[in-house]
Amino acid sequence: MKVAIVKYNAGNIQSVMFALQRLGIQPIVTNDPELLRQADKVIFPGVGEASSAMKYLKERNLHQVLVQLKQPFLGICLGMQLMCSHSEENDTECLNIFPLAVKKFPPKEKVPHTGWNTVYNLGSPILKGIKENEYLYFVHSYYAELGIETIGTTDYILPFSAALQKDNYFGVQFHPEKSGVAGAKILENFLKF
Backbone angles phi, psi at 44, to 5 degrees: -120, 85
CA-CA distance, 41 to 142, in Å (whole number)?
26
- Compare residues 101 and 139 and give the one whose CB is closer to another protein: 139
Q: Which of residues 17-76 bind another protein (CB under 8 A)?
A: 18-19, 21-22, 47-49
Catalytic residue, from 89, 149, 177, 188: name it: 177
Instruction: Find out whether 79 and 46 touch, Cβ atoms under 8 Å.
Output: yes
Q: Which of residues 133-162 bind another protein (CB under 8 A)?
A: 135, 137, 139-141, 155-156
CB of 44: closest distance to another protein in angstroms? 17
Catalytic residue, from 134, 140, 175, 188: name it: 175
Instruction: Find out whether 140 and 87 touch, Cβ atoms under 8 Å.
Output: no
92 counts as binding another protein under rule CB under 8 A: no
**The one-letter amino acid at 59:** E
State how far the alpha carbon of 43 is from the alpha carbons of 13, 111, 156, in Å: 10, 26, 26
Contact residues toward another protein (CB under 8 A) are: 11-12, 14-15, 18-19, 21-22, 47-49, 107, 110-118, 135, 137, 139-141, 155-156, 175, 177-181, 183-184
